[in-house]
Chains A and B, each alone.
Chain A
Amino acid sequence: MKDHLKYAFPRSLPVMFGYVFLGIAFGIVLENAGFHVLWALGISIFVFAGSLQFVMVPLLAAAVSPLTMAATALFVNFRHVFYGISFVEDFDKMKKAKKPYMIFALSDETYSVLCGCKNEDPEGVHRESWFLISLLDQAYWVIGSVIGALLGQALPFDFTGIDFSMTALFVVILIEQLTNNFRKNWVVAFAAILITTLCLFVFGSDKFLLPALIVTVLITALYQQIGGQKS
């Protein structure tokens, strides 16, 4: 346990700062929408998906249909389908009891930390410690959202605008993606921004996310088929 902690804690530190901060923002946003701290606790324990949690707050507040929630969850989190691919073999080599949680807890940030771990330790000597990394990451997120939900109630400070932290998070992830493989990625990023903006004005604020995601996925697949094959 001590060895696991010695390995996992320093590697989870960057996530700690990000998750506590974003978790606080989520707790405040949720609290402002009329949900008290227990909701923040429950959602952060069971959903544990940063972007979806932010996106679902107005959906919960508006008590949307189950289908809308399912479709939103499907499309907002669809990218997670591709995360596990990097870890199919690794998670299989871990203790059986750990595997379900490793899959459950594979968030954007934990995914990137584990990619780093795999990169520096290809033999997987420290693989069993990954469980603690995932657990610590989620703990930061849960603690942050509870603090946020409590602060939102207790402090007289006006937190309007703190939800920009989600925008900033996505912008940062997008930059990381773009610098990774600029030539191909900028085309799909640019197309996605154009399509989504168009859908926003055509379908309106409440209904544009789904058509925007569908068209974007189709265009991305099409681009890969005709234009992206060369590189």
Chain B
Amino acid sequence: MSSTLYTIILIAIAVIITVILRAIPFAIFRGGKTMPPKIKAVADLLPTAIIAVLVIYCIKDSLLAIGSTTAASIIAIAAVVLVHLWKRNTLLSIALGTVLYMILIRIL
């Protein structure tokens, strides 16, 4: 199999899974069925937990090899947290944090 075709298959899998996930509530709750409260309560908590996992996923390499990149990640994340708590502007927080990180990994 060519690598192009294989890449397309992998992308198609990502598409199908994503569409199914987004469509599930529409399939389950058609016609006014309501969610069991226990499931709903876990459902409310999961986004926070999963996004927290993704934050660590993002900085995995700088956690495994402690060095200047680790410091840059921690400082930049702290900056994002502070700027975001202060201004509550998603774009500003992301832009400032990224620029700071790009500078830090070059000078540290």
Nearest CB of chain B from residue A30's CB, rounded to whole Å: 11
Residue in A closest to B91 when the chains form the complex, CB atoms: A17
Q: Per-residue CB proximity of A175-217 to B under 8 Å, as 1/0? A: 1011001001100111111011100110001001100110011
How far, in angstroms, from A84 to B23 measured CA to CA in the complex? Answer: 7
**Considering only CB atoms and an 8 Å cut-off, how many residues of chain A contact the other chain?**
90
Q: Are A51 and B54 in contact, CB atoms less than 8 angstroms apart?
A: yes
Q: Are A56 and B97 in contact, CB atoms less than 8 angstroms apart?
A: no
Name the interface size band of chain B.
35 or more
Tell me the chain B residues, 43-73 only, with Cβ under 8 Å from chain A: 43-61, 63-64, 72-73
Return the contact of A168 from the options B29, B57, B72, B93 (Cβ within 8 A): B93
Q: Are B48 and A189 in contact, CB atoms less than 8 angstroms apart?
A: yes
Q: Which of B13, B52, B95, B97 has the most CB of A within 10 A?
A: B52
Which residues on B are within 8 Å of A, measured CB to CB?
3, 6-7, 9-15, 17-19, 21-26, 29-30, 35, 38, 41-61, 63-64, 72-73, 76-77, 80-81, 84-85, 90-91, 93-95, 97-98, 101-102, 105-106
Which residues on A are within 8 Å of B, measured CB to CB?
14, 17-18, 21-22, 25, 35, 39, 42-43, 46-49, 51-52, 55-56, 59-60, 63-64, 66, 69-70, 73-85, 88, 91-92, 103-104, 106, 160-162, 164-175, 177-178, 181, 184-185, 188-193, 195-197, 200-201, 205, 208-209, 212-213, 216-217, 219-221, 223-225, 228-229
